[in-house]
Amino acid sequence: MRHRFAVLLVLLLCGIAVCAQAEYVVGTDIAGKDITDFYYTLSASTYPPVYQRYRFCRENGKKLFYHESRQGGGWPQTEEDIVASGTRELTEKEWSAFVSCLRGGTVTGRSDEVIDGDEGPWMYLYWTGDEGTIQEFRFASPAEENEFIELCSSLAQNHILTYFRFSRGGYMVPQSWEITLHNGGYTIQRNDDEPRVFDADLVAELLKVIESNNLESWNGFHESDPDVLDGEGFMLEMRFADGTSVYASGDNAFPDNYSGASDGIEAIMEKEEMCRIAGTYRYEGEGFGGDFTITLNPDGTYTFYEGPLSSYIGGGTWYVYYRTVYMTETNGYDLQFMFDLQDDALAYYAVGSDAFPYAEVSDGERFMRQDMSGAQAE
């Protein structure tokens, strides 16, 4: 009896082992219609390190493609290192091209073994009947893998943001930002200001906000709540190189993730504004025994030095809101200052501001922006 039980146990364990090593072929054992999700991840600890992920999936009746590139930073790479990402809906033709790349590839049981330093790619195919374990994928040949990478690269490049406009108003001062892709890069126009260059790093941050808050799902949202007498309204318009467009608006009615998305957008636009304004400004009058300068740093800190006869160097934090610069002193005195933001100048608001400790500055007097050499900007 014991011998018979042992034989049965061995046969059972062997059956489990065989099952775990079972190999399924896409197109033969796994139909294209049964594919639900596919991940392709390449991660290399080169200098600088790089990270690339592609994902194809079915969600809510739609066929979707996601791409994410990370570069620079440390190792391992984190979400802070994302330089490009995006999600787009696929046509039936594009989904069929994806399935065609996988045809002939094999799927086996997942392995927990990871070679130290191995850059991948790691590929996992989820399909109806995978039982949650048989998901590790291998292409039929390098030719199919190269075809897959070329398809993903094409899909990612075609889904480039070419136009973005967001405005909000109501109880707050109306604000509008318009970002446009040109041959030489992106420009931004804030309200009625002249367009200026919009940094590529800020474009990457904006794409993160678009992706993480699923702004493409806002398309077609146009609602209002007439019962609210004083509130907020918004308008969003986005266009991509592949023809995808998004248009949404609301008046005291908002789509999902509106609060997080609008705050994220405004934070990026505030950063852009602060980077543009940052620099050293020299008082047009007489300082305390010499030049009186204010230096605004891009990180939101500042210092001021009233002149050679002063031993005090002021400092604190600053921000800008609708063409007004606000400075709060945290380096000894409890002081606050306000300035009107003008072209290459800061004009002092006496009303609403404290007096500087030593130099007397009158209402409307200006601090002129200096170039890197210390000369006045023209």
- 316: confidence class by pLDDT, cuts 50, 70, 90: very high
225, 253 contact by CB (below 8 A): yes
pLDDT at residue 377 tops 70: no
The overall pTM is greater than 0.85: no
The span from the CA of 5 to the CA of 11, in Å, is 10
Mean pLDDT score, 169-192: 85
pLDDT greater than 50 at residue 263: yes
Helices (H), the chain: 2-20, 92-102, 142-158, 200-212, 258-277
Indicate the range of 185-189, 229-233, 248-252 predicted with least confidence. Answer: 229-233
Residues contacting 184, CB < 8 A, separation 6+: none
Cα torsion angle, 191, 193, 196, 202, sign: negative
Task: Provide the pLDDT for residue 315.
Answer: 93
Q: Which amino acid is at 279?
A: G
How high does pLDDT run on average in the chain?
86
- Half-sphere exposure for 335 (CA within 13 Å, toward CB): 17
- Give me the mean pLDDT over the 113-124 stretch: 70
Give the pLDDT confidence score for residue 237 in this predicted structure. Answer: 97
- DSSP of 294-353: EEE-TTSEEEEE--TT---EEEEEEEEETTEEEEEE-SSS--EEEEEEETTEEEE-STTS
Question: Given this model, what pLDDT does residue 330 score?
Answer: 85
Percentage of residues of the chain with pLDDT beyond 70: 89
Over residues 345-364, mean pLDDT: 94
Given a cut of 80, whether residue 329 has pLDDT beyond it is yes
pLDDT digits (tens, 9 = 90+) for 70-113: 887 778 888 878 877 888 888 899 999 999 999 999 999 887 65
pLDDT tens-digit readout, 44-80? 888 888 899 999 999 888 898 999 888 877 788 888 7
Across the chain, which distance is largest between two alpha carbons, in Å? Answer: 106
Q: Assess whether pLDDT exceeds 60 at residue 11.
A: no
pLDDT for residue 10: 41
Would you place residue 171 in the very low, low, confident or very high pLDDT band (cuts 50, 70, 90)?
Answer: low
